[in-house]
Structure 1
Amino acid sequence: MGKTILDYSLIPLGLVIMVAYHIWLLYRVMKHPTKTVIGINSINRRFWVRAMMEDVSKNGVLAVQTLRNNIMASTVLASTAIMLSSLIAVLMSSGSGNKSARSFVFGDRSELGLSIKFFSILVCFLVAFLLNVQSIRYYSHASILINVPFKKMCLNHRHQHLSTEYVARSVNRGSYFWSLGLRAFYFSFPLFLWIFGPIPMFLSCFFLVFMLYFLDVTFENGWAGGEEGGDDAGREDEDKLGSQNQV
């Protein structure tokens, strides 16, 4: 009974730590994007799209190759996720009657508990697969839109600016979905360790959040307009990124 209590206490606590960190990260990305790696990359991607669309005849091949590399990265993650999902489904259907392996588990050792653990891992990988598929979708759309010669088709500068922003928004959304898919892979590590008990799962949640903090937060100005535009330009880009995230 005492070991089961650990599952009921440490598992929710570990999940709360993970969810609370990502809620805080979402707030930082939306309100202070220049202080996060995700926000800085989003601003620089918008500048990159604008530069690529300035001269489509010269930069078209470079833009398509760059987006193709991103599509390949998303494809690899999606293929890995669906392969691992199939493996977990096979393990769930075959069952696990090896009691000697369960001796390493410090916590709930019931069949129901093991099924819940495998099902959680399965859902995690399926979510990662769907997110990476959406990333491929947006990158595929952007690879076509980025080569459209808007300057030759329309003389209205405002329409050209809106078209550029639309392409940049598609590229950013593809990157957001890729990041979320990668987060789903990160989230699978604590779920895997949950098989061996609630203590490894809780410790992995704590160390994973500690590691992600240093990967997500930046302590220096790394966006392209930081030295030229000053604080006013930085605030303007923060407002634009915040409005894009709310769309």
Structure 2
Amino acid sequence: MEVEQLDAVLVPLGLLVLAVYHIWLVITIKRNPRHTVIGLNAETHHQWVFSLMTDPLKNGTLAVQTLLNNMMASTLLATTSITLSSIIGVFVSKTSSVVHTSSILVYGNTSPLVSSVKYFTLILCFLVAFLCNVQSLRYYTHVNFMVTLPTSQGKVQAMEYAVGSLNKASLFWSIGLRAFYVSFVLFLWVFGPIPMFVCSCIMCIVLYFLDTTDSLTRKLHHKSLKMR
């Protein structure tokens, strides 16, 4: 295999590894939610919202402060992602000569077209992270009003709607954070397809331990919900 053909083989293979892992993760969340961190978080959100909305006037300050912390995290990620995408865009448009001079460090296809694709996918990844975190902020703000509304006290439909909005906010935040993980893989593609493929495999292993739960975690989580 020629050096220029490595990108055509290893890059799609690395992306396929990430895609297969996330397909497995989605299936696991649907079938066995308690075996994933996202599933346990959704169950916790359900219990948290129901416990707060039983008395919104008493628990309003706690709810607002907790949601404010999540909104600050989403704001930080959104600001970071749009800043990085802007910096990369300016770097590519202003310093194309630097890309060509540093191409001797890349073991793979160093054509200008491939280099442009690398930076474009990296910018696109950060833009996805920005949009997801902005959408997460939108849902967190909406939940902030719902959990403190006195007229929603004891209304199951209003509580379920608030839980659904909170889970959507958490899901968008998770996708935005996941886009940051993928951006690290795409960043290593700048240095060649081999580092990118190796990072894809290592990233899947790391994400597996971050996304799944063990029996001890599930047991402690179940006991904490029982105590409530």
Alignment TM-score > 0.5, same fold? yes
CA distance in 1, matches of 2:9, 2:103: 21
> Aligned runs of 1:1-247 on 2, under 5 Å?
2-98=2-98, 99-150=100-151, 160-220=155-215, 221-222=217-218, 226-227=222-223
Q: Kindly, what percent of the aligned residue pairs are identical?
A: 47
CA distance in 2, matches of 1:71, 1:228: 25
Task: For residues 176-200 of structure 1, give each alpha carbon's deviation from its aligned partner in whole angstroms, at most 9, with x where no partner exists.
Answer: 0000000000000010000000000
SS of the residue corresponding to residue 67 of structure 1 reads helix
- Structure 2: unaligned runs, 5 residues or longer: none
- 1:151–1:140 distance in 2 versus 1, CA, 3 Å: closer
SS of the residue corresponding to residue 109 of structure 1 reads coil
SS of the residue corresponding to residue 96 of structure 2 reads coil
| Preserved contact between residue 146 and residue 152 of structure 2 (Cα < 8 Å) | no
Q: 1:100 Cα shift?
A: 3.7
Q: 1:223 Cα shift?
A: 7.3
Q: 1:119 Cα shift?
A: 0.2
CA distance in 1, matches of 2:136, 2:218: 24
CA distance in 1, matches of 2:40, 2:69: 20
- Which of 48-57 and 90-99 deviates more? 90-99
Q: 1:96 Cα shift?
A: 2.0
- TM-score, reference length from structure 1: 0.86
SS of the residue corresponding to residue 50 of structure 1 reads helix
| Preserved contact between residue 152 and residue 158 of structure 2 (Cα < 8 Å) | no
1:239 maps to which residue? none
CA distance in 1, matches of 2:221, 2:131: 34
| Preserved contact between residue 40 and residue 223 of structure 1 (Cα < 8 Å) | no
Alignment-mate amino acid for residue 164 of structure 2: R
CA distance in 2, matches of 1:103, 1:65: 52
Q: 1:27 Cα shift?
A: 0.6
CA distance in 2, matches of 1:82, 1:139: 20
CA distance in 2, matches of 1:164, 1:142: 10
- 1:55–1:225 distance in 2 versus 1, CA, 3 Å: farther
Which of the two has greater helix per residue? Answer: 2
SS of the residue corresponding to residue 119 of structure 2 reads helix
- TM-score, reference length from structure 2: 0.93
Aligned-pair Cα RMSD in Å: 1.8
